[in-house]
């Protein structure tokens, strides 16, 4: 049996009235958690946009309720039915249904599925791994896809949208380290110093920009990493250069995309879909190995803006939904490094 107390704290999402959901910090037991073959004592988690949606009830992302929220978790194995994971091993888990299809990481103990659990890469602490989290993992996947499709530092500038958020901030840092010229396209003024400190060479503020009505506008970008969707993604497709690559990650502004086929058939622009939730395990392991080596963020201390406790999550997740957050927020659970 695992070295786990009978009751421990967890932030669970419950069904409320009128299809609403309700987040409650409560004491639960291991038997309350969904199936899995590796139990960990949680050290750290982090907040992602999806967690903010779940905790505030802004969107119902969970299949079954009640469900512990938290799509990222890092900690130490306390029991395992899989020979690849031993008691005392440091591990991380991001996405793959955690905090969505089954109970997630906003709890003092979590039960994981070994098929998507990753041994902590050498050189990273548990805290650093959660500073990176799904946000950094997704940024790394997007850069991998751009480069796989031929984007190089000498191809031209790369636009990054949603740059004050987690994915955008880490994407700027990683691109800059690889020698790219980076333009941050933000909705917020007053963030210029922060964005330059991450490595942005140029900053565009959407309220000052003309998006233009034409199917093809002046070609500006060799590539783009988009976290917001909607009109901004349409504009990126319409302003990307011949053979350029646009990675579509998020929908913080809108899930819609409206543009003609002109960028794709006249400029050969590639629209690359990024899904960090269910990559094959080989790709997950390879990407985490890169996040500890050649794609290791250099600005994590700058991007990770604060640490919060489980009880603060409802309030902090509301700030995310109101676009008042900056960078990454860590959730300190046991605080083990
Ligand atoms: N495809 C995948 O597998 C995957 C994985 C991870 C995340 N995502 C998605 O990627 C997006 C970014 O995630 P994140 O964790 O970086 O979120 P985050 O930390 O909350 O950052 C989101 C950023 O988007 C911008 N934004 C927020 N609300 C907006 C609005 N109403 N209109 C326009 N811009 C808005 C803001 O940047 P500015 O103010 O600087 O513009 C904000 O900082 C989310 O949509 C998330 O669901 C997808």
**What band does 335 get if pLDDT is binned at 50, 70 and 90?**
confident
How many angstroms is it from 194 CA to the middle of ligand 1? 17
Residue with tokens 């029991």: 79
What is the predicted pLDDT for the residue at 18? 78
What is the predicted pLDDT for the residue at 2? 59
Average pLDDT over residues 306-320: 96
Q: Kindly state if the Cβ of 253 falls inside 6 Å of ligand 1.
A: yes
How many angstroms is it from 39 CA to the middle of ligand 1? 30
Average pLDDT over residues 267-282: 97
How many angstroms is it from 237 CA to the middle of ligand 1? 18
Residue with tokens 């900690």: 75
Residue identifier of the C-alpha nearest atom 19 of ligand 1: 165
**What band does 16 get if pLDDT is binned at 50, 70 and 90?**
confident
The overall average pLDDT reported for the chain is 96
How many angstroms is it from 253 CA to the middle of ligand 1? 8
Residue identifier of the C-alpha nearest atom 10 of ligand 1: 250
Among 200-209, 226-235, 273-282, 317-326, which is the least confidently predicted range?
317-326
Residue identifier of the C-alpha nearest atom 32 of ligand 1: 253
Q: What is the DSSP letter of 149?
A: T
Q: Kindly state if the Cβ of 274 falls inside 6 Å of ligand 1.
A: yes
Q: pTM of this prediction?
A: 0.97
199-212 core/surface letters (b: 16 or more CB in 10 A; e: else): bbeebeebeeeeee
**Bridge partners of 111?**
39
**What band does 336 get if pLDDT is binned at 50, 70 and 90?**
confident
What CA–CA distance (Å, rounded) separates 106 from 181? 37
| 53 contacts 90 by C-beta, under 8 angstroms | no
Q: Kindly state if the Cβ of 167 falls inside 6 Å of ligand 1.
A: yes
What CA–CA distance (Å, rounded) separates 60 from 20? 8
pLDDT tens across 139-195, in order? 999 999 999 999 999 999 999 999 999 999 999 999 999 999 999 999 999 999 999
Average pLDDT over residues 294-319: 96
pLDDT at 266 over 80: yes
Q: Kindly state if the Cβ of 289 falls inside 6 Å of ligand 1.
A: no
What is the predicted pLDDT for the residue at 181? 98
What CA–CA distance (Å, rounded) separates 208 from 206? 5
| 122 contacts 292 by C-beta, under 8 angstroms | yes
Ligand 1 atom nearest to 252, measured from its CA: 45
| 46 contacts 320 by C-beta, under 8 angstroms | no
| 77 contacts 87 by C-beta, under 8 angstroms | yes
Ligand 1 atom nearest to 52, measured from its CA: 20
How many angstroms is it from 248 CA to the middle of ligand 1? 11
How many angstroms is it from 263 CA to the middle of ligand 1? 24
What is the predicted pLDDT for the residue at 17? 83
pLDDT at 238 over 90: yes
Return the higher-pLDDT residue of 215 and 323: 215
The strand pair at 202-205 and 182-186 is best described as parallel
């Amino acid at each position: 049996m695992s070295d786990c107390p009978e009751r421990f704290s967890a932030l669970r999402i419950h069904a409320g009235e009128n299809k609403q959901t309700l987040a409650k910090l409560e004491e639960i037991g291991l038997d309350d958690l969904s199936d899995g073959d590796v139990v960990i004592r949680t050290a750290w988690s982090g907040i992602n946009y999806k967690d903010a949606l779940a905790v505030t009830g802004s969107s119902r992302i969970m299949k079954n309720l009640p469900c512990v929220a938290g799509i990222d978790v890092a900690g130490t194995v306390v029991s395992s039915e899989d020979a690849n994971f031993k008691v005392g091993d440091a591990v991380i888990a991001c996405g793959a249904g955690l905090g969505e299809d089954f109970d997630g990481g906003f709890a003092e103990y979590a039960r994981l599925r070994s098929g998507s659990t990753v041994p902590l890469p050498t050189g990273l602490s548990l805290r650093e791994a959660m500073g990176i989290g799904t946000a950094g993992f997704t940024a790394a996947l997007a850069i991998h896809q751009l480069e796989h499709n031929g984007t190089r530092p000498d191809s031209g500038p790369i636009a990054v949208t949603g740059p004050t958020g987690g994915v955008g901030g880490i994407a700027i840092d990683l691109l800059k380290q690889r020698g790219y010229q980076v333009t941050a396209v933000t909705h917020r003024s007053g963030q210029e110093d922060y964005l330059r400190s991450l490595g942005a060479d140029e900053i565009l503020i959407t309220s000052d920009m003309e998006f233009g009505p034409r199917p093809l506008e002046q070609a500006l970008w060799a590539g783009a990493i988009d976290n917001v969707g909607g009109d901004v993604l349409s504009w990126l497709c319409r302003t990307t250069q011949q053979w350029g690559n646009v990675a579509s990650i998020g929908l913080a502004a809108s899930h819609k995309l409206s543009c003609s086929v002109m960028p794709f058939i006249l400029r050969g622009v590639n629209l690359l879909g990024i899904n960090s939730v269910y990559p094959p395990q080989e790709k997950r392991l390879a990407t985490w190995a890169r996040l500890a080596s050649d794609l290791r963020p250099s600005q994590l201390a700058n991007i990770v803006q604060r640490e919060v406790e489980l009880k603060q999550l409802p309030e902090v997740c509301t700030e995310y939904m109101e676009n008042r957050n900056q960078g990454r927020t860590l959730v300190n659970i046991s605080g083990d490094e």
